[in-house]
Amino acid sequence: MRKEKIMTNFEKIIAQNRLKTNAVLATYCVIFAFIGLLVDVIRINANDLGTALFKLMTFQIFPTITIIMFLVAFIIIVVCIQNFSSIMLSGDEYKLIDSSKVLSSKENQIHRLLLELLEEAKLHFEPKLYIIKAPYMNAFASGWNESNSLIALTSALIERLDRDELKAVIAHELSHIRHNDIRLTMCVGILSNIMLLVANFSVYFFMGNRKNSGANLARMILLVLQIILPFLTLLLQMYLSRTREYMADSGAAFLMHDNKPMIRALQKISNDYKENDYKDTDTNSTRSAAYLFSTEMFSTHPSIKNRIQSLSRRVI
C-alpha cells in the first residue's frame, strides 16, 4: 500500500512537471511568433500596429517573416536533434563504453551500475554511456527520446565518487531521460538562442524609408525586447530547470531507495568546485544547462543547499 502511494505521488509530481514544461514551451512559441509578427509589421510599413497584427494573424496579409522564422527554427531543431551527440560532447576527449569490447574495471563498473538501475526500474531502453576526460566532477544526459539518449560522466567524477554515489548520479541522469527532460533542455536551449538572435538583429531589418507610425512602434517594441528577452528567457529556463533538477534528485533517491548517496555526491561535487576554478576548463557552453551541477552566478540550477534540504525531507 505504501509503495503504491509513493508511486502515485511520484507520478503526480511528474505530471505537474510536464504541465509546467508545456506551459513554458507554449510561452516560447507565443513570444517567438510575436517577434516575427513585429518584423512583418516593419516589413509592410504599417500605419497602425493593432490593425496590422490582426491582418497578419488572420492571414489577410501573409506573415512572411513569421513563417520563415518558424521554418528556420524547425530546421535548426532537426539538425541539432540529428547531431546532438557531437554537439554535446565536442570540445573534450571522450570514450563510448561499448559492452561488446573489452572494458577497464571502472568502465565495467559504471556499465553494470546502469544495467542494475535499468533492471530495478524495469526500463526497456539503454542509453549510451560516455566518459569525458575532464578534471572537473560533472555529468549530463542528452537526446531526443529514450531510444537515442546518452549519459556522460566526467573521468574526475568516476574517480572520486564511491560506488553508491556513482549509481545515484547515473540514476539522476536516467531520471532526466525518464521524465523527458532531455528533449525539453534541447528545445528550450535552441529556441532561446534563436529568439535572442532574431530580437537583436530584426530591429535593423527593413529600415529603409519606412516611417509610418505602426512600423516605428513595432521597431520600438523590438528595441525594448532586446533588453527584456535575455532576462525573460533566463527566468523561464530557471523556472523549468530548477523543477527538473529537484525531480531528477527525487528520481535518483526513488530508484536507489535511499537519499543519502545522492546527497553525498552533491556535497562532493560542490566542494570540488569550491576548491578549484574550472571556468576556463570546460569550453562547451551548450551543455551547461544539462549539467548535474552548475556554478554560474545566474544558474538555471537550484543551489546545492536547497537540493540537499529537499532530498533530506524525502521519505524513502
Chain-centre distance for alpha carbon 154: 19
Distance CA 49, CA 231 (A): 25
Contact between 148 and 224 under an 8 Å Cβ cutoff? The reply is no
- What length does the chain have? 316
- Whole-angstrom CA distances from 316 to 39, 100, 118, 264, 312 are 53, 36, 19, 16, 10
286 closest CA partner among 85, 17, 79: 85
What is the rounded CA–CA span in Å between residue 209 and residue 226? 22
Q: Residue 291, by phi and psi: left (phi above 0), alpha (psi -120 to 50) or beta?
A: beta
Q: Return the amino acid letter for 205.
A: F
Catalytic position from the list 107, 165, 173, 245:
173
Report DSSP letters for 240-287, one per residue: HHHHHHHHHHHHHHHHHT-SHHHHHHHHHHHHHHHHS--TTT---GGG
Q: Is 173 noted as a catalytic residue in this protein?
A: yes
Q: Give, in order, the Cα–Cα distances in Å from 204 to each of 92, 210, 299.
A: 37, 12, 31
249: nearest Cα among 184, 169, 141, 165: 169
Residues marked active site are found at: 173
